[in-house]
Every structure is written in C-alpha cells, then in structure tokens.
A and B are shown apart, each in its own frame.
Chain A
C-alpha cells in the first residue's frame, strides 16, 4: 500500500531517489537543496538504500562523478541549485553529449549577484540549451513523481539523455505538504533495473567514451542530441500514460485549467501555477474569461501542445521567474518561436515577476491582468513587463 504522509519537496526528491534505487549518488550541499543529500545520506546510513554516496568537494565534481558512474552503466542521481548548477554548466553539455541518463533534482533558486538564496527559475532556465530534459513540479507530490518519470524517460533507448526536475526554492523545498509515497514494488515494475547498454566500463568489452570529434563528425553528434530531444516528446507521453495507469496520477506536458472559453490564458510553471489557478477562479467569479496553463515539461519544449493552447486564447500572458536579456523571459522567446508561422495566433504579453523569492500576490497578478486586458482591447501595451518592481529604490 502506498504511504500517505507529509513532507518537504526536498524529502520527496530524496524519497524518489530511494525508490528509483540508483547505484551511485554524488552531491554537494547547497541551499535550498541541501536536505536532498542529507536525507539520502540517512537512507544509505540506515541501509534503506544500497548505493555508493560520493560526498564530493564541489558541484563540478558531483556532476563529473555522476558522468563517470553513468558512463560505467549504472543509475545515477544528484541534486543541486543555483550557483551549484551554474558550476556544473560545462559538464551538463558533456552528460547530454555522452548520452548519459543522469537524473538531477533542482531546488530552483536565483543566481548571484546579489547573492540570494530564494526562488526563481533562472538557474535551470539558464541550462536550457545543454540538451537536458527539464521538468518543473507544481507541488511536492509532483517533485516525487516527476523524478521517477524523469528516470523512465531519460533511460528510454529512444532518448538516453539526462533530465532535471525543478521545484521552487523554499516555496516547495522547505514546505511540508501531503505526499503519497508509492509502493516500492510498483516503482520497481515501472522503472526496472537500469544497465547501460551503450555506456559501460567493462574490461571484458573495452570501449572508448568521450572522444574527440573533428568537424567531420561533431555536427552529427550534436544532431543526435537534437533527435533524442525530439524523440522524448512521444516517450514522455507514453511514460505519463503508464504512470497514470500504475499510480493513478495524471500528467501532461501542459496542464490546462479553465481554458476552454478563455480569452486570456495565464501560462506559468512550477509552484506559481497553484496561485494562478486560484486567481483564475477569482476572475471567473467576476465574469472575466480567464484560464491558466502550466508547463510540466519545458525541454523538450511542448510545441504541439502550445499551438493547441494558443488556438483557445486571444491573449497569452506569460508569467515567468527568469530573464533573458533583450528578449524578456525565456517562455516569451519559446512561445514566440512556436507561434511565429501560425496563421491565427494570440497576442503574447510577457511578465517577469517573483525574482529572487519575491512573493507573487493577487495584486501582482491584477497588474498583469490590466496589461493583458489592454492588449485584448486592442490598446497599446508593453510586450515585456516587470511586475512588482519597487520603483522607489531603483
């Protein structure tokens, strides 16, 4: 029987790792994800998880050790956030390029300077071009589930790419919520044992991994990463379906809420989705035709689903906790690309908010709504809007 209990997202991530039975975990403590390696240490110390836990001296070595272990063909897990993820940056490309299905939990946190330990998505958004799959959790249950799902997708032979699962710093990492821990037997059935068939370090079958490629071969290797990302779209749908069948919880790349007759759809990710759904309910009571949508999967970018969503709205308001300089937010860029050649398309308005852990309140969303309504009415509007800026200290 599954256990219903309460826990923080960090504990949920550690539980997911335990259930997935990785052989090697390498991690370095960083706020707000420190509890993940701490909890895993406990599992290992108590013999509840039979794994090698490498207590590395940096995040760079954490991911490098994971690459070594995954290249040796075993299931591998790590967790980090913010500066730690940034320190891993170069090796993230290597993990994807070597096609190693490492899974990593991210306590989504802002980047320095100024140093700030609170939530936004700039850390993992900055890694969107590394080739890693990216999932974002709305709540602690999703943090647990998506890590299991990430292993299954990452290890699929049509994919073989590393995957990261983000959950918001403090809002989820340190907040206790009800979580259902699935049965180990069911997880075993779902995930099975992993043994790298393409990646192994075996003296009986010596292979060379991580070679140098001249211009004659490099581009093809990069294309294979592209292709694997494309393949992941279908695999993710299959895995979501299988997960629902086994565990009863339904996932989709984009989760829609009251979108059917919506004029304005707010699109966001992570824990903000909960706030936005509630906000939409409030707007509906007032007779405002608003809806919400949440991206559970960010890489591969759910192009088809975004196009389907776009058909339902006159205005899409993107609520994002990250900045891509000159452009606005990363979602604005991705949505623009996805809709650029569509015959009929909604107006896109971008909102940057909640950076560095600033609360996103209904008052902030009112501010965004007012701009979205201007766009809906055909009035002039700013494409990129910083919401909740304290103008008096600028």
Chain B
C-alpha cells in the first residue's frame, strides 16, 4: 500500500508540553517555523539539525523555557527583550570561528521587534549576519498582559489603548516592520500567516536557505489578547488575508519595484499587468475579520472608525504598489 509522505517533516523541535495558552497561534507558527528550518537545513547542509535559536523575551520565550524544563530540542539561547538579533549575531560569529555549518534563527514578538528591538534588528541586518529573523506578530505585548505595541492595528483594544469617551482604541496605524527590514536591501523579506501554513513553510525554507540575513513577519493569532474563540485562530488569520488586512508578499534584495504580492483568495478579483498584481478587488469586507475578535467589538458602534481603518489598509497596499477596493458589508 502506498503511504503518503507527510507534507512537512515529522521531526519536532518545539516539543509538546510547553505552557502556551490553548489555541495559541504563535505556538503553531514556531512549530511550523522550526520544522521548515529543519527541512531547509537538511536540503542545504544535509543535516536537519544544523540550526540554533536566539529568542527575545516574550510569551513564546517564557512558555517554552521554564527552568528546569525546556520545550526546545534545538540549541536555544534567550538573553533579553530587545537583543535577540544582537545575540544571534554573536552566536553566528562564534559558529563561523568554530567552523560549524548551519543557520541561526532569531525569534521575537512584535514588541521585541517593532519597538524595543528595532535597533538591534537593524544592526544585525545591516551587518549581513547569516541569520533569519522571525517576527511573530500577535499585535500587542501579550506577555505582559495585552498592552499596545507599534504593531497593534488601528482601532484595536488593548489595556493601554482602551476605547473610551475620547478614544476609539489604538489611534495610530500599524507599523510595517517587514518594509523597514526590506529597506536594508537584505536578500529576503516576507510576510506570512498561520492562515496559510504551506505558504509560511515555503517562505521560512526560502529564508533559511539564502546566504545572509532574512526577515519573516508572521501574523499569528492570540485568543487571549484578541478575545477570540480558541478554535478559530487559523480561520481568523485566513480572514485577515482574504479581507486585505494582512498582505502576503516577498521582497528580495530590497527591490521595492518587484514586490511579489500573493493572491489573497476569498473570492478577491486580482488584476495583473505584466504578471504583477496591480489591483485587488476584495470581496469579503474587513468586518468579517473584525467581528470574530473582542478587541474590535467597540468599533461596530463607530463605523467611521472602521472606514478609517479601511483607508489605512488601502494606503498600506499602495506602498506595496497595489490599488485595492475594500467593500463595506451589505446592509
């Protein structure tokens, strides 16, 4: 009888038994990322284990390395909140001197990457270390109890961006770190999502195989911080793609003229010119994404705030070179 090959390695590097919340989308992201890395290392160096992790302080750090236990079956170093990229630089340099083959994976959440760790990230990318930096973006400081980060989207409730009489929640547009990373003209930058795991794995493998630095920003859900149903994480992440909230793209060598945009699915109508996506007409309104999450609940009483978010999403797509149409829900 023919046995079908599993779509991804059955090797585990992020072992069961970690202390992440039920339904944690970021745990899924790390599981997939390490599996992808392992496959890439096997293909590139003939050794699936030829990698190590430097991780920033954050929820995925504290849940995975509670002394005297560890969820990591790969060499793993945590130093502090803002310096995963710098610590990874040091490990990579040491490996070079030791003649060890392989790649370092640096991992940080959006707080440890978009905010406090941005400088160390920039330094690491600019110095061209052979490191993949994976930013798991759950759009707030979830480790400390859901405070806003610069990656928190417009309108979202967090404990430090509460909606109130004079507030609609977070009042600044989301910072797009992938674009900042790409400005370093590094070999590879991508956005990904746990809502499209095959695409995420492909991108992680690609990132792991390039020579030099790469940056991947993966959108992952946080049922605790997003006040969303435990079992709907992947569905919500997929809706972010299908409604235009989360663009999937790749930028190689900082070439902003050749951003590889991916079709979002969900019935969206895609217009291409010379093979490049230039316009997308989304069919699903962003409300479909927002309504599954308690963090956006208050926006439904202020539809003008949702319109404002729509405008910001359009502006962000414009930076990517794509005109988008975002529908309003049918009355």
Binding site for B on A (CB under 8 A): 23-24, 26, 50-52, 54-58, 60-62, 64-74, 76, 90-91, 94, 98, 200-214, 217
Q: Which one of B62, B70, B89 lies within 8 Å of A56 (CB-CB)?
A: B89
B93, A69: Cβ atoms closer than 8 Å: yes
Q: A74-B98, A203-B50, A217-B67 are in contact. Are A65 and B93 (CB under 8 A)?
A: yes
Binding site for A on B (CB under 8 A): 47, 49-52, 54, 61-62, 65-68, 70, 72-80, 82-83, 85-98, 100, 102, 119-120, 122-124, 126-127
A-B contact pairs, 19 of them (CB 8 A): A50-B97, A54-B90, A61-B85, A64-B90, A68-B94, A69-B94, A70-B90, A71-B91, A72-B94, A76-B90, A91-B80, A201-B75, A201-B94, A205-B75, A206-B74, A210-B79, A211-B67, A211-B78, A212-B65
What A residues does B88 contact at CB under 8 A? 68
| Minimum distance in angstroms from A65 CB to a CB of chain B | 4
A214, B49: Cβ atoms closer than 8 Å: no
What A residues does B75 contact at CB under 8 A? 200-203, 205-207
Q: A57-B120, A66-B90, A201-B95 are in contact. Are A209 and B77 (CB under 8 A)?
A: yes
Q: A52-B96, A206-B75, A211-B66 are in contact. Are A26 and B90 (CB under 8 A)?
A: yes
B90, A72: Cβ atoms closer than 8 Å: yes
What A residues does B91 contact at CB under 8 A? 68-69, 71-72, 201
What B residues does A204 contact at CB under 8 A? 49
Q: Which one of B66, B80, B92, B120 lies within 8 Å of A212 (CB-CB)?
A: B66
What B residues does A69 contact at CB under 8 A? 90-91, 93-94
A201, B65: Cβ atoms closer than 8 Å: no
A71, B77: Cβ atoms closer than 8 Å: yes
What A residues does B120 contact at CB under 8 A? 57-58, 60-61, 64
| Minimum distance in angstroms from A66 CB to a CB of chain B | 6
Q: Which one of B51, B77, B97 lies within 8 Å of A23 (CB-CB)?
A: B97
Number of A-B contacts (CB under 8 A): 162
Residue of B nearest to A200 (CB): B75
What B residues does A50 contact at CB under 8 A? 97
A57, B126: Cβ atoms closer than 8 Å: yes
Q: Which one of B52, B68, B95, B119 lies within 8 Å of A217 (CB-CB)?
A: B68
Residue of B nearest to A221 (CB): B67
B74, A64: Cβ atoms closer than 8 Å: no
B50, A68: Cβ atoms closer than 8 Å: no
| A74→B70 CA distance, assembly (Å) | 24
A24, B83: Cβ atoms closer than 8 Å: no
| A55→B119 CA distance, assembly (Å) | 14
B93, A54: Cβ atoms closer than 8 Å: yes
What A residues does B70 contact at CB under 8 A? 208, 211
| A213→B62 CA distance, assembly (Å) | 9
What A residues does B79 contact at CB under 8 A? 64, 67-68, 71, 91, 94, 98, 210
Beyond the given A24-B93, A65-B90, A67-B90, could you list 13 further A-B residue pairs with CB under 8 A, ordered by the A residue number?
A23-B97, A52-B94, A56-B86, A61-B119, A68-B92, A68-B94, A202-B100, A203-B50, A203-B51, A206-B49, A206-B76, A208-B70, A212-B65
What B residues does A65 contact at CB under 8 A? 86-87, 89-90, 93
A23, B89: Cβ atoms closer than 8 Å: no
Residue of A nearest to B78 (CB): A210
